Amino acid sequence: MRKKINRINEITKLIVKKHLREAIEYDPSHRERMDQSIEQSLGQDTHPFGGSPSLPGTGTSQKYSEKLASKRFKDIVNMVKRYHGVENIDMGMMREMMLIMQQVGAIEQSKKAQLEQLAIDIVSEEFDIPEDMLRPNLVPPGSELNLDDDNEEEGEEGEEEEEFKPKSAERMKELDSEVAKRNSLNAMMQGAAKKGHYIFHQVADELDKIDPRLMGLYGKLMSLADYQYWLVPESAMGSAIGGTEKIKWEKPKKPEDEEEEETGIKEEEEPIIEAKAWIFPLLVHELIKGVMELAAMDWGKKHMAPDEQKHVIGRADTISGEIWGMRLGPGMWEKFLECINDEDYKIKHWLFQQLSQLPADKFHSFMKEILSSTHECEKVIDHLRELHQEDENDSLEDIVTGDENTFDAGLDDLLDDVGIAPSPQEDTPEDTATPEDVDYSEMSKSEIQKLIDDALDAGDIDMMDKLYKYL
């Protein structure tokens, strides 16, 4: 009897753990909590990254997205308290955001040219790109942010479009995976751009010379802006933005003293990243976002038709996706950077560009390796660098696949080359029957009880619920 009671207690604990688990790891020294609806979305995978094949497992009941969210929320809470010099965050501080922005705007407009050049200097150095590719425009808070030319046709958002029809059910499944890939790419772009919110620390001396008040005001404003993403539920998030960017293609300008020559050769256009923002940190953010979008511009051309790309973009590039990219993207980008030496720009840009061009299944396989273990990932990236240097014309897909028939087999070989055991396969062995293949009604009660005990030991509450019907 006691044994039976103990088993019941074990079952009860597992059920409680399943439904009431602490998904988010909060710092016990902080009373601040993210909005409950955000926490629920993370726990129930009802956000754009829910069940993403790009995200690895954690070995615990906590999802990887919850792990990312936990760290990001702790970091932001710490930043708000540090910049504002407080022990607790209250709503009154959130109401001060607009006042701080207006104060910043008043200071910046008299230093507009200096700050725009500083934004160019930062992004050019950080991403190793020519200065003349960057065209920033710092405007007063509340100003119009449109970057479209007057003669340029704007896309009609509300326009009725022809219904997309996939070639087959199998192809639709592949496109679902492409949507998940696009979500991950967008998140990494947002994560990289978010770095621009605090990159002003790298030019502290220059900013102090422009105005010594700016550093403190930037810290207060940007930390509160980031905190707001975790405090306000998605349904209540406003549409107000503080910046925008656009990639334009222009023919290079010739020196004034150079005569025009008709060569008959069509001159290639070059990309220009235009950015407009209300304050300096957001201006840097938008420039970085443009750089990342340029790196990933060929994300789907190699393996998707134009109508398929349009379909994927329509499903992935949403307001919800952008908001969640702001929340989880910084953590994903941080993991990516931890795999690469800070000074190694070439491999960083090449790797992100090449990752973006992989078909979804291969992209997800590689992303899991990047996000799983930073120590082991460093070995993989170092080895990739060596292979890339042997022939810089080879794509990431070519390098990884090598002599193997499949990308995954090549990835296993790559891991083996640096002494990392490939991750165990999660597929069910061919000789093992799946639960759907078993007719439990034909089993005896003792056999059913044995399966229930096994499910209990494995912590599989769903299987236990299913089996109890047959007792």
| Tally of domains within the chain | 2
Per-residue model confidence as pLDDT tens digits over 174-222 = 999 999 999 999 999 999 998 778 888 889 999 999 999 999 999 999 9
Phi, psi values for residue 275, rounded to 5°: -140, 140
Are 399 and 462 part of one and the same domain?
no
Q: What angle is formed at CA 45 by the lines to CA 42 and CA 49, rounded to 5 degrees?
A: 90
Are 343 and 421 part of one and the same domain?
yes
Q: Tell me how crowded residue 283 is: count the other CB atoms within 10 A of its CB.
A: 29
Q: Return the H-helix or E-strand segment holding 247.
A: strand 243-250
**19 is a domain residue:** no
**119 is a domain residue:** no
Distances (CA, A) of 43 to 51, 236, 348: 11, 20, 32
Distance CA 382, CA 420 (A): 13
Number of continuous H segments (helices) and E segments (strands) in the chain: 19, 3
Per-residue model confidence as pLDDT tens digits over 143-156 = 999 887 544 444 44
Residue 259 pLDDT class (50, 70, 90 cuts): low
Under 8 Å between Cβ of 277 and 283: yes
Per DSSP bridges, beta strands 270-277 and 134-138 are: parallel
Are 441 and 385 part of one and the same domain?
no
Distance CA 364, CA 225 (A): 31
**319 is a domain residue:** no
Are 401 and 455 part of one and the same domain?
no
Are 388 and 447 part of one and the same domain?
no
**367 is a domain residue:** yes
Tell whether the torsion through CA atoms of 155, 245, 291 and 407 is positive or negative: negative
**307 is a domain residue:** no
**4 is a domain residue:** no
User: Which of 105-109, 295-299, 391-395 has the least mean pLDDT?
Assistant: 391-395
Count of all residues that appear for the chain in the document: 471
Residue 411 pLDDT class (50, 70, 90 cuts): confident
Which stretch, 54-58, 117-121, 371-375, 448-452, has highest mean pLDDT? Answer: 117-121
Phi, psi values for residue 244, rounded to 5°: -155, 160
Under 8 Å between Cβ of 370 and 332: no
Asked if the model's pLDDT at residue 469 lies above 70, the reply is: no
Residue 243 pLDDT class (50, 70, 90 cuts): very high
Side-chain-side CA neighbours of residue 279 (13 Å)? 26
* Sheet of 134-138, strands arranged across: 134-138, 270-277, 243-250
- Look at residues 299, 290, 220 and name the one whose alpha carbon lies nearest to residue 248: 290
Per-residue model confidence as pLDDT tens digits over 9-25 = 565 555 544 444 457 89
Are 389 and 457 part of one and the same domain?
no
Q: Tell me how crowded residue 358 is: count the other CB atoms within 10 A of its CB.
A: 22
**414 is a domain residue:** yes
Are 363 and 384 part of one and the same domain?
yes
**413 is a domain residue:** yes
Domain containing 460: what range? 437-468
Residue labelled with tokens 């953590």: 331
Are 382 and 359 part of one and the same domain?
yes
Tell me what pLDDT residue 115 has.
97
Tell me what pLDDT residue 152 has.
47
Asked if the model's pLDDT at residue 233 lies above 60, the reply is: yes
